Structure 1
Amino acid sequence: MAKPGKAAAMAQLHSAARLSRTALAARLLSHGFYAGQDQIMIALDREDGQTPGQLAIKLGVRPPTVTKTINRLQTQGYVEKRASETDARQANVFLTEEGRGAIRAIEKAVRKTEKQALKGLDKKEQKALVKLLGRIEANLSNGAIVAEDHEEADDADE
């Protein structure tokens, strides 16, 4: 069982993440985007023509989730799928002109949410926060799932 300080830290982390996603989702919805669509649009803005599988890997989500989101974005006119020139089994996803125009609205929504979330933190605090969150992310993304008895042993050592 986690110590009270660790439990409080994790609860704060979960709460902050949930609230930031909710605030961003509300801003995106005002532009006609649903949660998750922004990530695909931004990834395509950085590197157009990716496959759904490539997008899923980059975004850390399952391929069916990406496919559903791409289909919705395609229906909205923001992306189009084209057959791969090198592999007939693959399709590549590209931003449309309308999709390119929408990128600025997505970036603005992200900036406003960042500004709201970081209000009252000076540059030094923001830098420290980014560093700490990076360490937490690295700890959690190593892919290893530790058995509960190992976690309890680690907690006992501290």
Structure 2
Amino acid sequence: MAKKVNSSTLYHLIEAGQLARLTLQRPLQGMGIYSGDDAIILALKGKKTLSDKQLCARTGLNDHTLQLRTNRLISLSLITRDFSGTNGLANTKLTKKGRKLRKNLVAQWRQLQEALMDDLNAEEKKILRKTLKRFSNLLLL
């Protein structure tokens, strides 16, 4: 008899990924930040600026979606855009409020990572990390 879909490894992998994503997103919901906006915030570090092209590459967003998201993040005072570069293109960076939020996001990410991996030894963590990376690479083909 065939295995039930909801007892398959793939099902549990998808479920774990979705639940981890929801857990990381929950604290942001009341702030007007949507799923995926955190990718922009995490791509920016400190006071360093990134061009739209760099942000698209790092987040996987297309230019139109990036513009919509960055406009919302500007309205929330989390990022600022500077058009004064030599190339005339927009450069985006975190505001002080954005840097504080990024710091909190990184802390939440690490806390969840530690909670999920706490009962694994170093070798098991390494095997899991390599296996998940292999899955990702296979799915990118």
Contact 2:78 2:97 in 1 (8 A): yes
Residues 44-84 of structure 1, C-alpha deviations (whole Å, 9 max, x = no match): 11782212232122122222222222111111111101115
Equivalence for 1:68: 68
**Alignment RMSD, CA only?**
2.6
Distance 1:47 1:96 in 2: 8
Distance 2:27 2:112 in 1: 8
| Local SS of the residue matching 1:19 | helix
Q: Unmatched 5+ residue regions in structure 2?
A: none
Equivalence for 2:138: 139
Residues 67-123 of structure 1, C-alpha deviations (whole Å, 9 max, x = no match): 2221111111111011152222x2111111222222221111111221233242222
Contact 1:77 1:98 in 2 (8 A): yes
Quick one: which amino acid aligns to residue 74 of structure 1? I
Q: Given the superposition, is the C-alpha separation of residues 111 and 49 from structure 1 closer, same or farther in structure 2, using an over 3 Å criterion?
A: same
Equivalence for 1:55: 55
Contact 1:37 1:69 in 2 (8 A): yes
Quick one: which amino acid aligns to residue 11 of structure 2? A
Equivalence for 1:82: 82
Equivalence for 2:42: 42
Distance 1:5 1:135 in 2: 24
Residues 105-156 of structure 1, C-alpha deviations (whole Å, 9 max, x = no match): 11111112212332422222111110001111111223xxxxxxxxxxxxxx
Q: Given the superposition, is the C-alpha separation of residues 65 and 47 from structure 1 closer, same or farther in structure 2, using an over 3 Å criterion?
A: farther
Q: Unmatched 5+ residue regions in structure 1?
A: 143-158
Q: Given the superposition, is the C-alpha separation of residues 48 and 133 from structure 1 closer, same or farther in structure 2, using an over 3 Å criterion?
A: same
| Local SS of the residue matching 1:77 | coil
TM-score (norm 1): 0.74
Equivalence for 1:121: 120
Residues 22-62 of structure 1, C-alpha deviations (whole Å, 9 max, x = no match): 11111333676432222211211178221223212212222
